[in-house]
Amino acid sequence: MKTFDVEVRVWLKPSVFDPQGHAVEQALHTLGFDGAQNVRIGKYMHLTVTGETEAEARKSVEQMCERVLSNPVMETYAYELKETVV
């Protein structure tokens, strides 16, 4: 059994209005960061998973993302997975 370190990011799909991102963008402009555009705010999750192989662990993480960690109706996700070095 191997252990993998997983970082998951979840954010709203481009078609969905993100009022938090919008508010932060306005604030950045207010503070003079005029070049700041397209601010989107999402979630970051960190977890470890175990699996016989990396492929198996990846499959498990993808299922988690699709079923629980994100809602495909409004969100999209990405993840990174690395085997932990003991």
Partner 1 sequence: MREPTPEQIRDERVYRSLGLTDAEYELVVEKLGRLPNYVEAGIFGVLWSEHCSYKSSKVHLRRFPTSGPQVLQGPGENAGVVDIGDGMAVAFKMESHNHPSAVEPYQGAATGVGGILRDIFTMGARPVAFLDSLRFGPLDDGRTRYLFSEVVAGIGGYGNCVGIPTVGGEVQFSPTYRGNPLVNAMCVGILPADGIVRGTATGVGNPVFVVGARTGRDGIHGATFASAEDPEEKERSAVQVGDPFLGKLLMEACLELIASGAVVGIQDMGAAGLTSSSAEMASRAGGGLEMILDRVPVREEGMTPYEMMLSESQERMLVVLERGREHVAFAIFQRYGLEVADIGRVTDDGRLRLIWHGEVVADMPVAALVDEAPVYERPIALPSEPERVDIPASLPAREAWLAVLSHPSVADKRFVYRQYDTMVRAQTVMGPGSDAALVKVPGMDKAIAMATDGNSRYVALNPRRGGQIAVAEAVRNLATAGAKPLAITNCLNFGNPEKPEIMRQLSDAIDGMAEACKALDTPVVSGNVSLYNESRGVDIQPTPVVGAIGVIDGIAKRLQSAPTRERAAAGLDLWLLGREDDSLEGTLYGELVCGRPVGDAPYIDLAEERRLHDLLQAIAGTRAAAAAHDVTEGGVAAAVAEMMIQCGAGGEIDIPAGMSQLGWLFSEAQGRAVVAVLPEGAEDLARLAAAFAVPLRKLGRLVASEKVAVRQAGDMVVEIPLAALRDAYEHAIPMALRAGTAGASA
Partner 2 sequence: MKWAVVVFPGSNCDEDAAQAVRETTGDVVDLVWHDATDLSEYDAIILPGGFSYGDYLRSGAIARFSPAVEAVRREAGAGKLVLGICNGFQVLTESHLLPGALLRNNHLQFRCEMVELVVDNNTSPFTRAYQLGERIQIPIAHGEGRFHADPETVEDLRKRGRIAFRYAHSPNGSVADIAGILGEGGNVLGLMPHPERAIVDWMGSVDGRRLFQSMHQYVEEGLADARANA
Query: Alpha-carbon distance 54 to 21, whole Å?
Result: 34
15 binds partner 2, rule: CB under 8 A: yes
Mark 47-76 with x for binding to partner 2 (rule: CB under 8 A) and - for no binding. ---------------------xx-x-xx--
30 binds partner 2, rule: CB under 8 A: no
What, of partner 1, partner 2, none, does residue 30 touch, CB below 5 to 8 Å by kind?
partner 1
Query: Alpha-carbon distance 86 to 83, whole Å?
Result: 9
Q: Which residues of 27-38 are buried (b: 16+ CB within 10 A; e: fewer)?
A: eeeeeeeeeeee
Of 3, 8, 2, 4, residue with least CA distance to 62 = 8
Mark 25-64 with x for binding to partner 1 (rule: CB under 8 A) and - for no binding. -x--xxx---------------------------------
